[in-house]
């Protein structure tokens, strides 16, 4: 189904604006051609994007799929090592319509009275899939993407110290990708905004779930330069200046780069996160991003106010969150008789 989309040009959304003039040129409707991921990935990854790294991929199993979301999560092998590949049909954007109508081939499926359906083959460049590759993937990655039943856990402050903290210290995902971003070893050309202050600063960039072709599913993350904050649980009133800085400058940068005001944003932290290095999610209001439900997402504005009323709010409160059936942390809670 075609949805009406903003005419905003997304061509250069992943690059830093050099000046206001350039920014307004890029956002003007007449310059609406959208960069493909291929074009976007030129630069530091330009060479890599030329070759088909997936040509040797051997499917082991489909971890999950969704007809509605038009996604499939596949576990397989690449060079005898585990890999996870996520394929996703990308949305149809308004600026592609003219070319879709003029340059596609149509095969009639059926016609009845005023109704007809066709199989439409769009030109290849308008018919892309977004492919996300995790390679080599750990067992934890494979589990993360497997469809699973979930259970809600109520974690007291003591539970955090005795169950969760020891578990995440042993078992959490590597945050090397985060350090690569902070050190400009990866994705540097995608940075939208940076405050380099070591205490209050952060890097704002597109989340890898966002293809950056339309604002409807806008998704950015702000990653703190401070490396000693794992999650919400580590925050006290001491961190209010950091959180306020991320909130204010993140919103300002998104307004400047994407013309989206704060009233169109959902700004939140996950508890539990997958990656234990403090980061904040900025998504477009109305976009049902994975993990934006009340059992996992904590609005940054609420986090700030909770810390203003009680400096140790997140150190002392019971926090609820969902855990998937095969999550090792769930087993730990069960073993401790908490579930
Ligand atoms: P989270 O709350 O720790 O976990 O968020 P979640 O993945 O269960 O939501 C981490 C966020 O970082 C997610 O929104 C990921 O999509 C995003 N992300 C993960 N990786 C490995 C990357 C990456 O390499 N680059 C970028 N730009 N985003 C990533």
Q: Is the CB of 291 under 6 A from ligand 1?
A: yes
Same-domain status, 282 and 326: yes
Residue 15, domain member (yes or no): no
Q: Which atom of ligand 1 is nearest to the CA of 144?
A: 8
Residue 284, domain member (yes or no): yes
pLDDT tens string 1-37: 323 333 333 333 333 333 333 333 332 222 333 333 3
Same-domain status, 250 and 310: yes
Contacts 24+ apart (CB under 8 A), 172-178: 172/274, 172/275, 172/276, 173/138, 173/140, 173/141, 173/274, 173/275, 173/276, 175/275, 175/276, 175/277, 177/275, 178/223, 178/275, 178/277, 178/279
Same-domain status, 121 and 214: no
Q: Which atom of ligand 1 is nearest to the CA of 134?
A: 21
DSSP alpha helices (H): ranges in 183-274? 240-258
Same-domain status, 101 and 59: no
Residue 246, domain member (yes or no): yes
**Beta-carbon neighbour count of residue 180 at 10 Å?**
13
Atom 24 of ligand 1, residue of closest alpha carbon = 177
Q: Is the CB of 86 under 6 A from ligand 1?
A: no
Residue 6, domain member (yes or no): no
Residue 263, domain member (yes or no): yes
Q: Is the CB of 273 under 6 A from ligand 1?
A: yes
Same-domain status, 194 and 300: yes
Atom 21 of ligand 1, residue of closest alpha carbon = 177
Residue 170, domain member (yes or no): yes
Atom 14 of ligand 1, residue of closest alpha carbon = 207
pLDDT tens for the chain, 339 residues long, are 323 333 333 333 333 333 333 333 332 222 333 333 334 444 444 445 568 999 999 999 999 999 888 999 999 999 999 999 999 999 898 999 999 999 999 999 999 999 999 999 999 999 999 999 999 999 999 998 998 899 999 999 999 999 999 999 998 899 999 999 999 999 999 999 999 999 999 999 999 999 998 999 999 999 999 999 999 999 999 999 999 999 999 999 999 999 999 999 999 999 999 999 999 999 999 999 999 999 999 999 999 999 999 999 999 999 999 999 989 999 999 999 998
The residue range of the domain holding 111 is 94-126
3-state secondary structure (DSSP) of residue 121: strand
Q: Is the CB of 205 under 6 A from ligand 1?
A: yes
Q: Is the CB of 208 under 6 A from ligand 1?
A: yes
Given a contact cutoff of 8 angstroms between Cβ atoms, the answer to whether 109 and 118 are in contact is yes
* Burial track 269-287 (b if 16+ CB lie within 10 A, e otherwise): bbbbbebbbbbbbbbbeee
Same-domain status, 326 and 297: yes
Q: Tell me the CATH number at 262.
A: 3.30.428.10
Same-domain status, 263 and 246: yes
State the catalytic residues. Answer: 279
Q: How distant, in Å, are the alpha carbons of 96, 162, 166, 196, 231 from that of 226?
A: 41, 25, 21, 10, 12
Same-domain status, 254 and 121: no
Out of 126, 146, 180, a domain closes at 126
Residue 261, domain member (yes or no): yes
Same-domain status, 289 and 184: yes
Same-domain status, 289 and 264: yes
Same-domain status, 107 and 202: no
- For the chain, the domain total comes to 2
Residue 135, domain member (yes or no): yes
Across the strands, what pairs with 224?
A: 202
Same-domain status, 240 and 181: yes
Given a contact cutoff of 8 angstroms between Cβ atoms, the answer to whether 142 and 64 are in contact is no
Given a contact cutoff of 8 angstroms between Cβ atoms, the answer to whether 213 and 129 are in contact is no
């Amino acid at each position: 189904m075609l949805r009406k989309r903003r005419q905003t040009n997304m061509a250069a959304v992943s690059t830093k604006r050099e000046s206001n003039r350039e920014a307004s040129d890029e956002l003007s409707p007449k310059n609406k051609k959208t960069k493909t991921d291929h074009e976007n990935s030129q630069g530091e990854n330009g060479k890599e994007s030329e070759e088909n790294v997936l040509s040797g991929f051997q499917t082991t199993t489909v971890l999950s799929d969704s007809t509605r979301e038009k996604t499939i999560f596949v576990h397989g092998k690449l060079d005898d090592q585990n890999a996870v590949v996520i394929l996703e049909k990308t949305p149809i954007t308004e600026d592609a319509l003219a070319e879709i109508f003029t340059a596609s081939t149509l095969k009639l499926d059926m016609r009845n009275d005023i109704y007809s359906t066709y199989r439409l083959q769009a030109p290849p460049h308008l018919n892309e899939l977004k492919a996300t590759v995790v390679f080599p993937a750990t067992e934890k990655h494979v589990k993360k993407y497997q469809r699973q039943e979930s259970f809600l856990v109520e974690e007291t402050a003591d539970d955090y110290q005795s169950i969760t903290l020891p578990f995440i210290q042993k078992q959490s995902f590597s945050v090397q990708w985060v350090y690569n971003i902070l050190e400009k070893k990866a994705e540097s050309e995608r940075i939208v905004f940076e405050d380099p202050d070591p205490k209050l600063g952060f890097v704002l960039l597109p989340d890898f779930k966002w293809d950056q072709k339309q604002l409807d599913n806008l998704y950015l993350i702000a990653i703190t330069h401070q490396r000693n904050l794992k999650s919400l649980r580590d925050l006290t009133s001491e961190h209010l200046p950091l959180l306020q800085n991320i909130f204010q400058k993140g919103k300002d940068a998104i307004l400047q780069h994407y013309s989206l005001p704060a009233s169109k944003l959902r700004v939140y932290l996950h508890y539990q996160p997958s990656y234990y290095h403090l980061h904040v999610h900025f998504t477009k209001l109305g976009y049902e991003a994975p993990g934006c439900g009340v059992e996992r997402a904590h609005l940054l504005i609420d986090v700030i106010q909770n810390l203003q009323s009680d400096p140790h709010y997140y150190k002392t409160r019971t926090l609820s969150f969902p855990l998937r059936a095969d999550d090792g942390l769930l087993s730990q809670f069960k073993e401790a008789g908490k579930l």
